[in-house]
């Protein structure tokens, strides 16, 4: 059962790390190239490290087509969060709940001397 969760943690860690790397590449590229694409009638724009989601405006001219920004956020905090989550899943071991046993363990080898006995 522990191996199943270990594989699950590794998979989630790798997926979040890949997503953070893709967003980081887009964030760096957004400072030199402004990009926008239309997805199902909505406009997704990336410019100067800001991702914006817009919808067509109700007031349209014949020559121009305007978008109203619905959602706008900075990419850098999302990248930092995804990197921290991936680090947690890849580096940290399983979380152990319960009391920690600090008593020295007895050796199973009868020939080995016991360090607790003088």
Distance CA 51, CA 29 (A): 12
Three-class SS state of 77: helix
Q: What is the mean pLDDT of the chain?
A: 78
Q: pLDDT tens-digit profile of 60-87?
A: 555 556 778 888 889 999 999 999 999 9
Tens digit of each residue's pLDDT (9 = 90 or more) over 39-67: 888 888 888 888 888 887 766 555 556 77
Of all residues in the chain, the percent with pLDDT exceeding 70 is 66
Least confidently predicted of 47-51, 92-96, 110-114: 110-114
Backbone angles phi, psi at 54, to 5 degrees: -130, 155
What is the largest distance, in Å, between two alpha-carbon atoms of the chain? 96
Q: How far is Cα 85 from Cα 14, in angstroms, rounded to an integer?
A: 10
Residues 14, 10: Cα–Cα separation, whole Å = 6
């Amino acid at each position: 059962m522990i191996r199943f969760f270990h594989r699950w943690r590794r998979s989630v860690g790798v997926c979040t790390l890949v997503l953070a790397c893709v967003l980081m590449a887009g964030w760096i590229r957004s400072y030199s190239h402004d990009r926008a694409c239309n997805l199902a009638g909505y406009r997704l724009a990336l410019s100067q490290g800001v991702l914006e989601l817009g919808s067509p405006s109700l007031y349209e001219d014949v020559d121009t087509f305007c978008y109203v920004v619905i959602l706008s956020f900075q990419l850098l905090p999302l990248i930092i969060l995804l990197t921290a989550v991936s680090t947690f899943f890849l580096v940290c071991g399983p979380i152990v709940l319960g009391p920690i046993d600090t008593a020295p363990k007895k050796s199973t080898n009868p020939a080995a001397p016991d360090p607790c006995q003088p």
